[in-house]
Amino acid sequence: MEVRDMEGLVAVVTGGASGIGAAIADALHARGARVAVLDRVGADSPYRILRCDVTRDDTVTTAITDVVSGLGRLDIVVNNAGIGAVGTVADNDDAEWLRVLDVNVLGAVRVSRAALPHLRKSPHAAIVNVCSIAATAGLPQRAVYSATKGAVLSLTQAMAADHVREGIRVNCVNPGTVDTPWVQRLLAAADDPVRERTALEARQPHGRLVTAQEVAHAVAYLASPLAASTTGTALAVDGGMAALRLRPPASADAQPAQPILA
């Protein structure tokens, strides 16, 4: 069923040139929003693409100003741009911590800060942050990445409190492992990509990877004027990975190996 609940609204999606961000742009467009994509790389996209590195405040403010001058308003911000990192707390130096925090946490801060004056003028203002299962469950070899996503979860709640009386809602989605170019790159680098994929699929109770479209629909729900009473929430899109505790399969032999990737 087609829902056109975003007619007349303007949305910005960071990291919309690939994977989950591209699917979010499609989902918001399908609901009637005019969509601008902010990404550090270009892409063959049907939407307005603005080159923007979320680690550079000057490119962020310029991009947001360009969106508002070009499309006339700003109602929805999706902070999706993000990067991964592998290792325990012992494995990464300060430079790596600061690099990942700069994109995953401060990137959302910079984009939200630039957008707030425009969102305050919208009757349907919403920010949706793309967080992760890594914010709510301990995953091996993901210390830096998990810390950044834990920060995104707390930031979401703090921002929701700060801006609720201004009519700006702030929520996040927590995807499990999603079949995107990011995960495909990680799988390609694994010693045994087929075995690794099988292990990742088995880690999610519904037995498969999440699709980018499933995450996008959750984001669209939270961004929608139809969710006007929903703020400060984290919506898991993880096949039950965060919430369910299943008994192991009947045969112990059927248990796949523990995945290495998050």
Residue 18 as a binder of ligand NAD (CB under 6 A): the answer is: yes
Pick between residue 124 and residue 152 the one whose CB is nearest to ligand NAD. 152
Residue 21 as a binder of ligand NAD (CB under 6 A): the answer is: yes
Residue 15 as a binder of ligand NAD (CB under 6 A): the answer is: yes
Selected from 83, 190, 202, 226, the binder of ligand NAD by CB under 6 A is 83
Residue 119 as a binder of ligand NAD (CB under 6 A): the answer is: no
Whether 221 is catalytic: no
CB 94, min distance to ligand NAD, A:
19
CA distances from 97 to 1, 73, 81, 91 (A): 44, 35, 17, 10
Comparing C-alpha atoms, which of 45, 104, 156 is closest to residue 35? Answer: 45
Structure tokens at 66: 């360009």
Residue 169's Cβ-count burial label (10 Å; 0-12, 13-18, 19+) is buried
Pick between residue 124 and residue 175 the one whose CB is nearest to ligand NAD. 175
Selected from 28, 50, 54, 235, the binder of ligand NAD by CB under 6 A is 54
Selected from 5, 32, 45, 55, the binder of ligand NAD by CB under 6 A is 55
Helix (H) and strand (E) counts in the chain = 8, 7
- Rounded Cα distance between 7 and 199, Å, is 42
Give me the residue label for tokens 């959302």.
108
Compute how many residues bind ligand NAD; rule: CB under 6 A: 29
The contacts of residue 144 (CB under 8 Å, 6+ apart) are 85, 87, 92, 96, 97, 100, 101
Residue 108 as a binder of ligand NAD (CB under 6 A): the answer is: no
Selected from 5, 30, 32, 40, the binder of ligand NAD by CB under 6 A is 40
- Rounded Cα distance between 161 and 166, Å, is 10
Selected from 103, 119, 155, 218, the binder of ligand NAD by CB under 6 A is 103
> Catalytic: which of 125, 145, 204, 218?
145
* Site residues (CB under 6 A) for ligand NAD, limited to 180-219: 180-183
Total length of the chain: 262
**Angle (nearest 5°) at CA 260 between 254 and 262:** 110
Q: Which residues bind ligand NAD (CB under 6 A)?
A: 14-15, 17-21, 39-41, 52-55, 80-83, 103, 107, 130, 132, 175, 177-178, 180-183
Catalytic residue numbers read 145
